[in-house]
Structure 1
């Protein structure tokens, strides 16, 4: 016993000396560390789903407005019923007045470059607000209000009680409709009249959530929207000869449509092919296609559990529709409205076919479409989405019209069903949507427009630019020349790599569907997405979130050699980029056979080089990294061995 103790003492005394001259082994743990605070709470579980005490406030709207096509104005009244489900009493409410973006002194106008950009627009418009009232229950509660740029704060003289208290805010509002509405709304002149595309057209409550409280980022242009869910009941009064297409269900078709049109709509609701409600020949035949012949007419719509509504109005519309097939057999109709000039089969004559196909694809693959209609509007807008309704460029044709229609209706899943914050995280909106668009492109009409699907290595020049920016750059801060990559292409490519290269379709699809199901009609944060995918797929992906979504580095895997040894080959690999990745290799043998081998991402835990002994009694002819070209490796020259065996 004494000898054992003595030897232990000697070892302990010599221990510091034994380490002299030895260097600390550097590892790559920093690449695999968590990227943000992702611990669960009562509101948001660590599994990525809403927690047991998750809450969300509700905003219900009743709106009644008139459109004047002589003065090009909207005027009317709104009543917002706001339910405070949060655990805090609220002393004030913030609303967005997005039409104030079209003032010469707005923050958006003042931060637009002299040469302009996509988000340039009119600067002589904006809201007129009057007769504002507020109540808590039945008691008058307005203290004061102040308008700051695109936001309005309504201060109450007593708070809205927590856990279910209700306030109502009402006001009259009016504005002149912009001609150029920042590629989100506006006016399109046609030979038979103006098409008015109306969005951000009413005062909207801002979101109060458990992460930031009130979300009050100003509306500058590139950053889109973050809206509360609720029920909408809205009426649009227009000249008698106008047709109105709106989000949601038309409640008074007998008042605004003729018997012939109603019968055609019933036929369309059962038809797989487009059925005209108003034919090209009937566009200006108001006497036979309008239930009134003078004055105005009111179209009444309603939509439940939605974050927004939009509409279009014109006397120039051709109108057609067809049935959307859903697994649940819920009644749903695809519709299109467009001017006669673009009614050909190479253009908007196929719009309803495109709309129907997109909705059916996303419903079958990810989550069923919840609304009763999907309406595509030919517009001055290049492409912009709203719940159940999209504005797409009037001049779009063939694959261009399919592409924009597919994209805008894909947005019904992100961010209409899954209600992420577009102002801060456009990648959770544009990127996720661009990802699901890829598979719709490949499927539609047996691949008619599969060329619209971008390939992983189609844009390598961007990844080598010094001016590139990361996905996590806010949309109003990012260089507009980079926005297409930071918000759309790069995050979409990230999900594509997760599905096709890292996790595989089965694991990814289950996890992604779980995310949609968990956060349908709710407000997820980036951490909720990361946690959901990791939990449902059973994979720690810190290294990927850090490198691809919250970094600005590149992927550069390399094979540096394959040396024959007894019983096989030593294959030498290097990670020359900033992002670790699994390594897919295709080994081709001299006898013409081949073998696929996948090295896990963990080979890069302790360094950027790795040797693997591959047992074989065959002669290896060549080895190719990423043979299917599923990742945007910036240097394909080092992807093969021997170096001249690349399959590029």
Structure 2
């Protein structure tokens, strides 16, 4: 595309001459519904600014956020596929409110036959578990009353927990049966050398208490998560011959790795090339483990995180390489996968992909904050957690790169910027799909560029055209629709693709990278480890980028409005090409955007000018003056096909 800064400078020669040439209207055959008074009206966002969240989209002077720190001990019994856990949560109430109850999330209960999800028609499941079995619930060492309601747990406190930083210790002992391969985001998957346990949503997790709703207790219906931040120390006890890979840093490598594996891990931490920690031929060799009987306990630690997950199996091949981060920092890229995933176009390259994606996201947007990034080749859930992602061991080639980069990109949204996935899916999937686009361009000189997705952009297609059926569909939800209200038919097209395309258009067509990129980086840094809302994001980007974007938020996010701009005619001033030309534009839909107008002159030369969105502020049929001095052959609006224009048939006009 042409440099947006240059294009906007060229717009200085554009004079809006016909702003009052036609009245604004909301319908009609030649206007199709465009009403500038509706598009450009003052915008009231869903959440009003206050002392907690200010008018610039930042945390306000009275902003607060509660904290949850976890210490967890877990044991896996492969004979029964059971995980038993003992967790202690140190919960700190930084709110101004005294809390008489605590709410937690029991996401394993989604697998019960009587779960709301099983009965609401969204999922049809032939298999089930009993969900969590709670053995004891204690506060500060004493048993307390509690209530289990579907995927939620209410703990009744013996006395209110005061605000302003007071804390308590909540201990829960529990167990549950890990679902088989049908479990999806957490599962047991058989492979040639043993089962792979992908363990997520594996401990009762604190619900968020915030300034927006108090306790946010939406049930788990299949949309994702909203969690508090804190530190985690967790231990996993498994059979002696298993490998465990998890979120955070392995705290006891000398106890669970052989001397050779410790040496290889140290070498990987200094290597840009992938180093095997456990080779494919060593997977079935008992000598690859430091003991030959009983169990081993793997210990992990992670700071500044809202969650942890892990994978455990006797079947893992394991490799790693160094990640180079800004300011001389480093982390470790790791992959664990079964021998079925081995191959030069397969998981042999996974760690290369992890390293490339993390380095790109870190240098372009915000530095990766954790010591390790793990890609697991297992069931193929395509699911993300802080520091570890679950992908499929059968993935290969471009799909393995794309799924790896996408799931790792979630480390930024919503793992660093902790938006509410259960309510605002576009702030999770849309933001992440957006940064994926540039990661694909950057990796290995564009080896897998451009990023494509067969659901909406087949090879060779133009993404701005692929969104047109969604914009034209009266049943399609808006980006602001609650996540659980978006059916599977629209989930990807709206939350992922439209959410990502909205940011691409904002960056490349509305603001330009030189304004968008610093604002977006500042947004990430400002809201790191906090909980922004859509209103916070909208306000922040407008303020930081220096642009009133109310019209864009209204048309693309709060509504599902279409765009159809065109050139309806043109004439020379006084019929003399030397005096310039008046160009008549038209909008037949509710949304307009800044656009390039290309002038092809009769002598074969070309000039591009920028038509700003302000051209449409008072009329659906504005007239613009071109101070040209030569005969014009043709005028074309959006000649490079960058905008999602519903009907491009009227984008060009040949001068008589």
Q: TM-score, normalised by structure 1?
A: 0.92
The question of whether the paired residues in 2 share the 8 Å contact of 1:308 and 1:387 is answered with yes
- Which of the residues 32, 38, 55 maps onto 1:30? 38
Give matches, 1:403-552, under 5 Å. Answer: 403-453=402-452, 455-552=463-560
Q: 1:291 to 1:107 in 2, by over 3 A?
A: same
| Residues 572 and 609, structure 1, Cα contact 8 Å, conserved in 2 | yes
Two-structure CA RMSD over aligned residues (Å): 1.7
Higher relative contact order (CA 8 A, sep 6+): 2
Find 2:128's aligned residue among 114, 123, 130.
123
Distance in 1, Cα, partners of 2:344 & 2:147 = 51
Corresponding residue for 1:85? Answer: 94
Q: 1:442: how far off?
A: 1.0
1:19-65 CA-to-partner distances (Å, cap 9, x unmatched) read xxxx9976633212214255432211111111111100000000001
Comparing 546-555 and 624-633, the one that deviates more: 624-633
Matches of 1:593 and 1:79 in 2, distance apart? 73
Q: Contact conserved, 1:125 with 1:178, CA < 8 A, in 2?
A: no
User: Residue 58 of structure 2 aligns with which residue?
Assistant: 49
- Which residue in the other structure is 1:635 paired with? 647
Supply the distance in 1 between the matched residues of 2:183 and 2:498 (Cα, whole angstroms).
24
- Residue 283 of structure 1: how far off its partner (Å): 0.7
Q: CA deviation at 1:466?
A: 3.8
Q: Is the 8 A contact 1:62 1:79 kept in 2?
A: yes
Aligned residue for 2:584?
572
Using the alignment, how far apart are the partners of 1:398 and 1:25 within structure 2? 52
Is the alpha carbon distance of 1:121 and 1:621 closer, same or farther for their aligned partners in structure 2, counting shifts above 3 Å?
Answer: farther
Are the aligned partners of 2:467 and 2:493 in contact in 1 as well (CA < 8 Å)? no
Would you say the 8 A contact 1:121–1:181 is kept in 2? no
**Which position in structure 2 is the counterpart of 1:394?**
393
Partner in structure 2 of residue 619 of structure 1: 631
Q: For residue 418 of structure 1, report the CA deviation from its aligned partner.
A: 0.2
**Aligned equivalent of 2:601, options 574, 580, 589:** 589
Distance 1:25 1:201, change over 3 A: closer
Q: CA deviation at 1:263?
A: 0.4
From 109, 112, 119, the equivalent of 2:121 is 112
**1:324 aligns to what SS in structure 2?**
strand
Equivalence for 2:186 = 185
Deviation at 1:461, TM superposition (A): 3.0
> Partner of 1:6 in structure 2?
none
Report deviation, 1:293: 0.3
Work out whether residues 109 and 123 of structure 1, in 8 Å CA contact, stay in contact via their aligned partners in 2: no
* Alpha-carbon separation, structure 1, partners of 2:647 and 2:83: 55
**Partner of 2:437: helix, strand, or coil?**
helix
Note the 1:89-488 alignment, pairs <5 A.
89-113=98-122, 116=124, 122-135=127-140, 140=142, 143-180=144-181, 182-221=183-222, 223-286=223-286, 288-453=287-452, 455-488=463-496
More divergent stretch after superposition (293-302 vs 458-467): 458-467
Distance in 1, matches of 2:207 and 2:476, equals 32
What secondary structure is seen at the aligned counterpart in 1 of 2:134?
A: strand
Offset, 1:382: 3.1
Deviations 1:302-353 (A, max 9, x none): 1011000000000000000000011222230000000101110111111000
Give CA deviations for 1:570-589 in whole Å, capped at 9, x if unaligned.
Answer: 11111111112123212121
Distance 1:257 1:348 in 2: 22
| CA-CA distance at 1:564 after TM superposition | 2.2
Separation of aligned partners in 2, 1:50 and 1:276: 44
Bigger CA drift: 48-57 or 92-101?
Answer: 48-57
Matches of 1:285 and 1:90 in 2, distance apart? Answer: 54
Paired residues in the alignment total 612
Select 2:566's aligned residue among 555, 558, 561: 558
What is the alpha-carbon distance in structure 2 between the residues aligned to residue 76 and residue 28 of structure 1?
59
C-alpha distance 37-65 of structure 1, shift in aligned 2 (>3 A): closer
| Cα distance in 2, alignment partners of residues 257 and 558 from structure 1 | 66
Unaligned runs of 5+ in 1: 1-22
Q: State the Cα deviation string for residues 247-289 of structure 1 (Å, max 9, x = none).
A: 0000000000001001001110111111000001101102x11
Q: Whole-Å Cα distance in 1 between the matches of residues 328 and 429 of structure 2?
A: 29
> Which of the two has higher C-alpha Rg?
1
1:207-242 residue CA offsets vs partner (Å, 9 max, x unmatched): 001111110000001x10000000000000000000
Distance 1:72 1:509 in 2: 47
Structure 1, 462-471 or 336-345: larger mean CA deviation:
462-471
